[in-house]
Structures are given as C-alpha cells and as structure tokens.
A = this chain, B = another copy of it.
Amino acid sequence: MSQLVRVQCFCVSRDGFGAGEGQSLERPFGHADPADLASWAGATASWVNRTEPGGTRGLDDYMTRDHQNNIGAEIMGRNKFGPQRGPWENYEWQGWWGDTPPFHTPVFVLTHHPRPSFTLADTTFHFLDATPAEALARAKEAAGGKDVRLGGGVATLRAFLEADLVDTLHIAVAPVDLGRGERLWKSPAELLDRFHLEEIPSPSGITHLLFWRR
C-alpha cells in the first residue's frame, strides 16, 4: 500500500472558512470562536488533546481516532504553527501546543523564513522553504512508510490541492457561518472533478465530508 497524503479533522464553517479574520496570539482563529468549529472533536474519547477519561464513542470518535491512525509525519503552514509573520525576531516561539505537542511524529512547517529544527517531547519541528512537492518528498521519507497528514491551515491545503498532491480529505463542517477569514472553498463541489465525496451528518450537528480520489 502506498503512502497516502491525508487531511483529517480539518474544521470549516458552513460557508467554507477554516479560520476567521485577524489571527493573533490571543485568537489563533481570528474572529472565529474555535469552539464553534472544533468542540465536536473535543467531546470524543479519542481526541488527541483529551487528558481525562470519558468522551463519546460514536461517529465523531471514529473521525478523531483516525486523525493519528497510521500517520508518520505532518506538514503544516506557518500560520498553523504560530501568529508571527515575516522574519523571525527570535526563536522563542515553539508552537501553540506546550511541552508535549499532540503530533508525536516529525512536523514540517512550510515558511519562507526557515529556522533551526527543534524537538519537544516526541515531536520534532522542521522548517522548510519549499514547494508542496519538495516538502512532501521530505515528509514521506520521514514517515517511514506511514501516511502523511496535511494539517492546514487553509492556504497550505489549497496549495497542495492545487498541486494535486492530496489523496483523501476529511473536512468537518460546523453549523456556523463566519462571513470572512481564511476560505477553503465556496462549495465542496469544487473538488468533485477529482474526488469522490460522501456527506455524513453526525448526531453532534457536524457534517463530515469524506473525499477520496477518483
């Protein structure tokens, strides 16, 4: 089985925004309330950031469980890694995730401003000024035969879709409209020329969109 490039548990609003306008340290999702987009995931037993027992084990849990399943590396954009733009003033910022990031694999951060790699617990962050295809080659090598997760944000997903490098996508559509921000699409129909699509409504109110290559 070849290595897949997978998007898992990427949350967007009903009108297609993955983040609101005005990302900052205090508001990683800009004017959007991250709970509106992602609380469905936090409610499940298998969510990577869960620290206490409990949680639901229905459909949404299958989705969060698969987030990590057979993943050997992640690729993310700089705007997922942090709120800074432009050259690094220093290297103090080590991501939003504290001392134990929930990745547990190598993570490749796409940026025009590379900086030295560093390791937190069992996650090592590497910084690449590279095309999607170049970054993917590095990530596949690091993944040791497992799949590569494309972590977002929206600009990174769009760049990889544009380069036709994505095999499967799980997009969770939240029942909220954002109106402005980082937009993944106007409609999921934009991908139907290249992907099969199943639309699965969840009892939680989320709709799971599952895409795979035609």
Contact = CB atoms under 8 A, between A and B. Distances in A.
A212 B65 contact: no
Contact of A62 (B45, B53, B63, B203): B63
Contacts of A66: 62, 65-66
Interface string A49-61: 0000100111100
A198 B58 contact: yes
- Taken together, the copies of this chain in the complex come to 2
Contact of A203 (B168, B198, B202): B198
Given A200-B200, A203-B198, A212 B62 contact: no
24 contacts: A45-B212, A56-B196, A56-B212, A57-B168, A57-B196, A57-B210, A58-B198, A58-B200, A58-B210, A58-B212, A59-B198, A59-B200, A59-B208, A59-B210, A62-B63, A62-B66, A62-B210, A65-B66, A65-B69, A66-B66, A198-B202, A198-B203, A200-B200, A200-B202
Interface of A: 1, 45, 53, 56-59, 62-63, 65-66, 69, 168, 196, 198, 200, 202-203, 208, 210, 212
